[in-house]
Amino acid sequence: MTALNRPEDIPYIYERLPTLNDRQSFVRLREGIFKLFPIVGYPKVINALQRLNEVVPASIKADVTGSSRTQNKWEDVLAQRERGLAMFETTYGQHSQRVMDSLQACHPDMAETAITHLYGPIISDTTVLSTQDTSLIYVAGLMAQNLPEQLKGHWYGAQHHGATVEALEEVRRLVELTCGYYGVGLSSGGQ
């Protein structure tokens, strides 16, 4: 729904979670939406998070303590960058350098931005969602937006992070249902 910019339906999903008043369900859903911003864009994520925030009970929000990801020290930045590069390399496997070179060829800052500002602090952060969960979210977001070129790499990347073909097919099924509901064409991508 976030990828399709349908934030009005986020409350519907939240209200049907089996553990509606569960702090962890809210935190995981919120993190999943937030982590989509490199794939779907910041405005769509803002819209979705605002709708989610409107329906979460105050008691749940009050119980959720959290601080923003910090980069207070140079060591934090370096550690995040190293973690991000490791996840990037796991995601793209033997094709990592080729992907990095391709990004660099598109724009001189593209590869460095991906590692330092996206993979480092956000995508590789496993505080709430595992790398496998994050990978599956990215597959869904790319599929819903009909981005087969990026989907292919992330489809395999999800497997590199432990996702099974069955899990990926289940994601595909759910995205097909969602896209069908909204009348949006779907990328086949993957394998």
Segment 160-175 mean pLDDT: 97
CA distance 91 to 94: 9
Residue predicted with more confidence, 59 or 110:
110
Q: What is the pTM of this model?
A: 0.88
How is the chain split into domains, by residue range? 1-60, 71-125, 128-191
Residue predicted with more confidence, 22 or 120:
120
Amino acid at 159: Q
Instruction: Give the model confidence (pLDDT) of 106-152 as tens digits.
Output: 999 999 999 999 999 999 999 999 999 999 999 999 999 999 999 99
Cα 77 to Cα 26, 120, 125, 132, 191, distances in angstroms = 28, 8, 13, 23, 36
- The answer, yes or no, to whether residue 99 has pLDDT greater than 90, is yes
